[in-house]
Structure 1
């Protein structure tokens, strides 16, 4: 029978507790090898250590080989077989998330076309213009983009929709409202009643223009009117280019009035009547896809705090209500 140690190899390299016949007898070599007496590193131990060190490298290489993109000479370019969807809802205070979604879908080679579902009364001037410019880029890159208007797609929401290759609206959709508005409250009469004064120290004649603590001067009103007129002309010019309409013809209806979807089609602001499914079916046929083609949305993760402070605030504070009324493209004043 083979050698069997009387006690397990414990206590490190010295094993002072082992009997002499184990450490110095005829079976000493095997005992020393098994128990690593004297710190001797055996060949088997070297192989074991090397294998343990090499294992992560081998596994990493295998994972890399499985995740590598196949050679373009073997696998053809990914086919565009999906439709992208972007939902633009509520007042447009920020454009960042919507622009990000549109860019991601535009760069995605698997996306054959994009549909924007609009349910908004408009919003800030700059965010509306940023979205307009991003939609225009789809034209330059020849990727079809259509707009489906829901219950409301007015002012800034119409602005961003105008470059689409086709705009769909329901007969009862409220749209148009091509205009700009700047409004602010006046508290000075209330302050007078309660005896509250507000001291203002400024450098620059118009630095506190629009303050609610005093009435606006005639000169200040003229200045703001010029600013709004310039913004209104930008609105008209961009829509006329996007819709291939004469600016003068558009100007005659660009006085802030709203139109039903049916009337908007008659005057050339929208192209076809129909809901989301009609618009989606048209786009699929236009790009050569069947009704089985998938529709995807790009999602960008937001922090809960930002959601509460921006888009989600209307849901979380019930008494505020949602500002759905079409009142022109809001001009949100910036401060430095």
Structure 2
């Protein structure tokens, strides 16, 4: 009897502790949801940053009298700038795009481009530093469309490639009026690839039945678990070729003077080689280009930051846990096409 009583007391205490923890989590989530997302556009004035670098280095290498003269000169420059309006001057808007397989950065890119278009005019310039080895077709197609918004407004668009802009990354880059490339940066890879793991023979070996029901002859040409038929495989390859044709036509539209037959082989090239083949317009790093522009123009770096609220994070964790435990994990492994 004493043992049962002790168990009951222990169970009640455990329940109270769990209830208290759950209540705290719910309270925090409610407070976080009231606070909402803290999403914002961050601005950095790079021309001022470069100027501060220059002044700092000069001040450390000059004599005492020279430093006094420099200080006097800088004071006069600040006064003259205060009197003159800078609204009429050309502004350079800078955006960074670091791509992954899913082109996840496109969510920030669309906000950054929208913010820029509320202010920029055809007198200004937008510079995008692209770094991406490529990825999913629809993701990079949307990223390219975001950059096209700039060009369609008549605003000069420059893409700088310091490391890599291959496949989907190059798809984005060709929308620019001008592509700058570092000497050893990788560009090109105008091709399409699809990855399709298939375990049908293993299932068959162990007498495991798998049945898939579709409506539409080509709803599922190849799949992870089903048998890949010659007809389905042929259709799948045809779809890949169609995607490649779309890719090539898009490149040709913006770089019509390039020998498409020579470069649309899926190969990639380094900067100097890419320049010779017409894939880029100039061998130059983004740092050198921006530093040169900062001598006469304002450079405004625009970055969109999205901070999820705690409630969204908790919801996301629960959603991911559910997803991993459901049939959607098979969908994650299904056919995907990559640029």
The TM-score with structure 2 as length reference comes to: 0.60
In structure 2, how many angstroms separate the alpha carbons of the residues matched to 1:169 and 1:290?
21
What SS does structure 2 have at the residue aligned with 1:137? helix
Deviation at 1:206, TM superposition (A): 2.8
Which residue of the partner structure matches residue 293 of structure 1?
298
1:102–1:82 distance in 2 versus 1, CA, 3 Å = same
Alpha-carbon contact 2:189-2:267 (below 8 Å) kept: yes
Q: Is the 8 A contact 1:173 1:260 kept in 2?
A: yes
Query: Is residue 89 of structure 1 aligned with residue 89 of structure 2?
Result: no
- Name the structure 2 match of 1:331: 337
Tell me how many residue pairs correspond in the alignment: 231
Q: Which of 110, 116, 119 is the equivalent residue of 1:105?
A: 116
Task: Note if contact 1:162-1:243 (Cα within 8 Å) is conserved in structure 2.
Answer: yes
1:125 equivalent in structure 2: 137
Q: Displacement, 1:179? A: 0.7
Residue segments in structure 1 that go unaligned for 5+ positions in a row = 1-75, 314-329
Aligned to 2:285: 275
Q: TM-score, normalised by structure 1?
A: 0.61
Contact 1:104–1:298 under 8 Å retained in 2: no
For 1:204, the equivalent position in structure 2 comes to: 216
How far the C-alpha of 1:215 sits from its partner, in A, is 3.5
Structure 2 equivalent of residue 116 of structure 1: 128
CA contact (8 A) 2:210 2:226 kept: no
Gaps of 5+ in 2: 1-84, 321-335
C-alpha deviation, 1:152, in angstroms: 1.3
Show CA shifts across 1:117-171 (max 9, x none).
Answer: 1111112222222232332333332212211112211001001101212111111
Between the two structures, name the one with larger relative contact order (CA 8 Å, sep ≥ 6).
Answer: 2
Change (3 A) 1:226 1:168: same
**1:198-240: per-residue Cα shift (whole Å, max 9, x none)?**
2323333333322111342111122122222122111111111
